[in-house]
Amino acid sequence: MNLPTKLTVSRIILSILIMGLLLFPLEALGIYFPVIRTRIDIDLKYVVAGILFIIASITDFLDGYLARKNNQVTDTGKMLDAIADKVLVNPLLIIFAAEGFISPIVPVVVVVRDIVVNAIKMQAAAKGKVVAAISSGKIKTASLMIGMVLLFFADVPFIYFNIRVDLLFIYFATIMSLVSMVQYYQMNKKIIFEKEEN
C-alpha cells in the first residue's frame, strides 16, 4: 500500500470518526461537549468534527497530487478515492439535513447526481473509454467543501453580520451538481447509447 492509498484510507477512517462523533449518543457514556455561548451558540462537538473534516479534505487533495507526482496511480487507489470522497461528503449532508441545518433537497440532489455520474463512468469504462472530470464538477466539489466547513463552524464570522455564506455555497453547489450531471450526460450520451459490436 503506497502513501497516496494510505492517505485515502485515512480519509475513510476520519469520515467514520466524524459520523460517529455526530451520531453516537456520547452523553450516554458521560462525554459532553460544551456549547460556546456568544451572540450565537456554537456546539464544540461540531467544531471538533469540522477540524477533522478539514484534515480529511486536505488528504483528498494530497493523495491525488502525490499519486500523480510519484507515478503511483493504481486502480485500487482510484477506487478507494472515489469511495472515500462519497463517504466523507454524502453522509454528512444527510446528517446536516436531519439536524435541520440544510434542506433535504441538498443531499437528495447530490446523491442522485453521484449515482448518475458514476453510472455514466462505469458504462464508459465497460466500453474502454475514460470519462474525465469536468470544471463544473470541480466547482461543485469546491463549493460544497467550503460550505460544509462553514456549517461545521456555525458560519462564523459571517453569521455575526446576518449573512449566510455557508448556505450560499451549499445551495450553489447543489445547482452545480445538477449542471455537472447534465453536462456529463450530454458529453457522454454517444458512449451510453453506443451499440455494442457483435
Look at residue 28 in the predicted model and tell me its pLDDT. 72
Look at residue 198 in the predicted model and tell me its pLDDT. 46
pLDDT at 15 over 80: yes
pLDDT per position as a tens digit, 161-185 = 999 999 999 999 999 999 999 999 9
Look at residue 99 in the predicted model and tell me its pLDDT. 94
Mean pLDDT computed over 18-40: 81
* Residues paired with residue 113 on neighbouring β-strands, in sequence order: none
Q: What domains, with CATH codes, occur in the chain?
A: 1-100 (1.20.120.1760), 102-198 (no CATH)
Look at residue 142 in the predicted model and tell me its pLDDT. 93
